[in-house]
Amino acid sequence: MFFSKKLRLASAVLGVAMLSTVFAGCGGDSGSSDEFKVGANIEMTGNQANYGNAGLEGLRLAIKEANEAGGINGKQIKLVEADNKSESAEAVNAATKLISDDGVKVIVGPAVTANVIAESQVATDNKVPVIAFAATNPDVTVENGAVKPYIFRSCFIDPQQGTVMAQFASKELKAKTAVMYIDSSSDYSKSLGKVFQETFEAAGGKVVMQESFLAKDQDFKAALTKIKAANADVIFIPAYYEEVGKIVKQAREIGITATMLGTDGWDDPKVADIAGASALNNTYFSTHYFAEDPGAKSFIDSFTKEYGHAPNVFAALGYDAGKLLVDALKRAGSDDPEAIRKAIEETKDLQVATAKVTMDPATHNPIKDAIIIENVDGKYVFKSRIAPSK
């Protein structure tokens, strides 16, 4: 009576589902020995999917090229992808799955700092090396002053960019006052702001106002109206391109003519699309590479051929991480995570799309130049190349 037919069916389904969980759990083997299993923990859906997916395209291309060139000692590299839904909790989930179920020996990603930090504990516990391709926050590889043995990155770090832009503002632009407009939902943005302020004020400038917004905001006019009133020489906006495009557009609309400065998050053709070429004039940003650099050219060509559209900076960084990984795998010669870890740490003078990199074993950050680009009528114009300060 109480236990109707339908209900019986429902619980049967439930039971099967439970059992299958248990059995599915038994399936995690370490993979066959004729391929290298590499994990990609990526923001495929959710708020940061744009950045994650672009990086994944670059990564896939690097792996594909390596496989076409004969793989690693005749073995093919197999990329196992997992979606972290742009949430740090899910990044842990995805990393755990990659390690325990898919048996990967090394992981590339995620794109965003917070997600990499979430993942790093699981990777460290399981002694699986990680290469972060776009997480520029210093805390990614270092904790309490000590380097995290298994966590690496293939991009430069925020202090470098922040310092570069602050020096650029005070020395080249002779700016005395600055406003910072920060994405307070992003560690990236916040830490860049901090470094910029320190450097800029040390050089005699003054940050007269700091405003904040949140990722995915649409309307910035209210805060910009306030910023306009501050009348500063430069406005520093360390943020990602989606918001940057809208901010620049709306700033110009309400009559802000001041110079705007940005960071690598600006490096995407979308900024010009959204803001409009003329609005973007009188803006500068730091980034990882310039399209006419050696190495970059061939990457851009093959990327465009592969996907039918030009790469953005995330794609380039994803590609870099892939190159770095392939190089390390070759030198490691086995899929032993410890060997891979050691090989990554010993990376030296490796030509990737954005630069020639050497891994700093003390910080697990690559030693890389930063580039400053000026937007002129919708085109990137190379401004300067600045080596890391130390």
Partner 1 sequence: MNLLRKNDLIMLGLSLVIFAILQVLITTKVLTSFWELNLIIIGINVIMAVSLNLINGYTGQFSLGHAGFMAVGAYTGVVMTTFFHLPFIVAIIAGAVLAGLLGFLIGLPTLRLRGDYLAIATLGLGEIIRIVIMNLDYVGGAAGFKGITHHTNFAWVFLIMLFTLFVIKNFVNSSHGRACIAIRENEIAAEAMGINTTKYKVMAFTIGAAFAGVAGCLFGHNFYIISPGSFTFLASFNYLIMVVMGGLGSITGSIAGAFVVTFISAVLAPWPEFRMIIYALALILLMFYRPQGLFGYMEVTSMGIFRRIFKRGHES
Partner 2 sequence: MDFLHQFVQQLINGVSLGSIYALIALGYTMIYGIIKLINFAHGDIYMVGAYIGFFAITRAGLSIVPALLISMVVTGILGMIVERLAYKPLRHAPRISVLITAIGVSFFLEYASMYFVSPTPRTFPEVIPSVAFNVGPFIVNGQQMLIMGITLVLMLILTYIVQKTKLGKAMRAASFDVETAQLMGINADRVISFTFCIGSALAAAAGVLVGVYYNSIDPLMGIMPGLKAFVAAVLGGIGILPGAVAGGIILGVIEALVSGFISSTFRDAAAFAILILVLLFKPSGIFGKNTREKV
Binding site for partner 1 (CB under 8 A): 1-3, 6-8, 10-11, 14, 17-18, 21-22, 24-26, 28, 44-45, 47, 82-83, 85, 87-89, 92-94, 96-97, 99-101, 113-114, 117-118, 120-121, 126, 139, 143, 184-187, 190, 214
- Return the SS3 of 386: strand
351 binds, among partner 2, partner 1, none (CB under 5 to 8 A by kind): none
Q: Cβ(201)–Cβ(162) under 8 Å?
A: no
Q: Which is nearer to partner 1, 21 or 257 (CB)?
A: 21
Q: How far is the CB of 226 from partner 2 (least distance, A)?
A: 5
7 binds, among partner 2, partner 1, none (CB under 5 to 8 A by kind): partner 1
Contacts 24+ apart (CB under 8 A), 293-300: 293/354, 293/355, 294/351, 295/351, 295/352, 295/353, 295/354, 295/355, 295/356, 296/353, 296/354, 299/353, 300/353
Q: Which is nearer to partner 1, 114 or 237 (CB)?
A: 114
Nearest residue to 95 (alpha-carbon basis) of 128, 63, 134, 61: 128
Q: How far is the CB of 289 from partner 2 (least distance, A)?
A: 21
Nearest residue to 91 (alpha-carbon basis) of 140, 138, 18, 31: 140
Q: How far is the CB of 273 from partner 2 (least distance, A)?
A: 4
Sequential DSSP letters for 121-175: HHHHHHT--EEESS---GGGTEETTEE-TTEEESS--HHHHHHHHHHIIIIIS--
Q: How far is the CB of 10 from partner 1 (least distance, A)?
A: 5
Q: Which is nearer to partner 2, 32 or 278 (CB)?
A: 278
Q: How far is the CB of 279 from partner 2 (least distance, A)?
A: 8
Q: Which is nearer to partner 2, 166 or 260 (CB)?
A: 260
Q: How far is the CB of 96 from partner 1 (least distance, A)?
A: 5
- Distance between CA atoms of residues 119 and 93, nearest Å: 8
What tokens does 98 get? Answer: 């990659």
- Return the SS3 of 283: strand
The binding site for partner 2 (CB under 8 A) comprises 45, 47, 49-50, 53, 184, 211-214, 216-223, 225-226, 228-229, 242, 245-246, 249, 252-255, 270, 273-276
- Distance between CA atoms of residues 184 and 190, nearest Å: 6
What tokens does 156 get? Answer: 């430069």
- Distance between CA atoms of residues 172 and 169, nearest Å: 6
Nearest residue to 163 (alpha-carbon basis) of 217, 107, 202: 202
DSSP symbol at 237: E
18 binds, among partner 1, partner 2, none (CB under 5 to 8 A by kind): partner 1
25 binds, among partner 2, partner 1, none (CB under 5 to 8 A by kind): partner 1
Q: How far is the CB of 314 from partner 1 (least distance, A)?
A: 17
114 binds, among partner 2, partner 1, none (CB under 5 to 8 A by kind): partner 1
100 binds, among partner 1, partner 2, none (CB under 5 to 8 A by kind): partner 1
